[in-house]
Amino acid sequence: MDILSPQNPRAKEWAQLLEKKHRDKQQKYMIEGIHLVQEALRFGADLECIAFDVERGVPAELASMMDKNSRAEWIGVSAAVIAKCTDTKTPQPVFAVVRKHSADISGLLQKKNSLVIVLDGVQDPGNVGTIIRSADAAGADGVIIGRGSADIYNPKTIRSTMGSIFHLPVVEGDLLRLLPQAKESGVRIVSTSLQATSTCYGYDFTGPSWLLVGNEAKGVSPEAQKLVDDALIIPMKGQAESLNVAMASTVMLFEAMRQREFR
């Protein structure tokens, strides 16, 4: 059954997912564009429906995947419905509604020599998405998003992950509860600090290491800082005052990967 009017009750419900309060209430979120829908199908995300531009038909890249997720409903919609339900300036011809799936910390605690990046109040959705993407690229075991960080289901966060959100566990929770649990299971909490004397290149990341990064302006909160075992500095040769949080996270993650995989 095609949905052509933006006033259709279902279209209105989808459009509400652009706001966090409705994503929380419905326990669903929206993904836009061929690449993200492809990744969601490929990695078995819990898709409620996939809406495609009825004039243009199912995109060729997705047509062969239509039986990949038998529970997902494929619905033809008008360009007007797509414009109402997506937040990009030039909407792509497809979007999907995904049911939220909350990952649990227990899997990360049981992992031997886990590599995890932990976000404490990182507020920019683009930064949060980029860090998830970098963690995926570096082979990290998961990402933990502390309170006060950008919503991982914000359309901009999702776009910035480039599909990595479907590739590794992303756990949301209270860091003051989660980090002590990690420490009890033998994890070392590592953070960057401009005052640190040890560099990230001299540190041994081969054991269980959880990298804690903080807010863009204020850094790691004083409460979380008390749980840090090792403070490191990323040495810089040029004149830049500092790196942005996503860049600093990427440098640390890739140094950990280098030590673990390319010794």
Contact between residue 51 and residue 14 where contact means Cβ atoms under 8 Å apart: yes
pLDDT value, residue 66:
86
pLDDT tens readout for residues 89-131? 888 899 999 999 888 899 999 999 999 999 999 999 999 999 9
Nearest CA to 82 out of 105, 61, 102, 59 is that of 59
Regarding the domain delimited by 9-99, which CATH topology (the fold level of the hierarchy) does it fall under? 60s Ribosomal Protein L30; Chain: A; (3.30.1330)
CA distance 32 to 51: 10
CB neighbour list of residue 153: distance below 8 Å, 6 or more residues apart: 20, 23, 29, 100
Nearest CA to 256 out of 208, 217, 221, 212 is that of 208
CA distance 250 to 241: 17
Task: Provide the 10 A C-beta neighbour count for residue 205.
Answer: 21
- Single-letter amino acid, residue 204: D
Contact between residue 235 and residue 180 where contact means Cβ atoms under 8 Å apart: no
Tokens of 207: 């054991």
Q: At which residue do the structure tokens 């942005």 appear?
A: 244
pLDDT tens readout for residues 6-45? 999 999 999 999 999 999 999 999 999 999 999 999 999 9
pLDDT tens readout for residues 211-260? 999 999 999 999 999 999 999 999 999 999 889 999 999 999 999 999 99
| 72-92 burial code (b ≥16 CB/10 A, e <16) | beebbbbeebbebbbeeeebb
Lowest mean pLDDT among 86-95, 109-118, 182-191, 203-212: 86-95
Please tell me whether residue 7 adopts helix, strand or coil conformation.
coil
Going from N- to C-terminal start, the domains of the chain cover 9-99, 105-261
Contact between residue 117 and residue 135 where contact means Cβ atoms under 8 Å apart: yes
CA distance 165 to 143: 10
153 conformational bin, left if phi > 0, alpha if psi -120 to 50, beta if neither = alpha
Tokens of 96: 């999907």
CATH number of 105-261: 3.40.1280.10
Task: Find the helix packing angle between 245-261 and 125-137, rounded to 10°.
Answer: 10
CA distance 181 to 176: 9
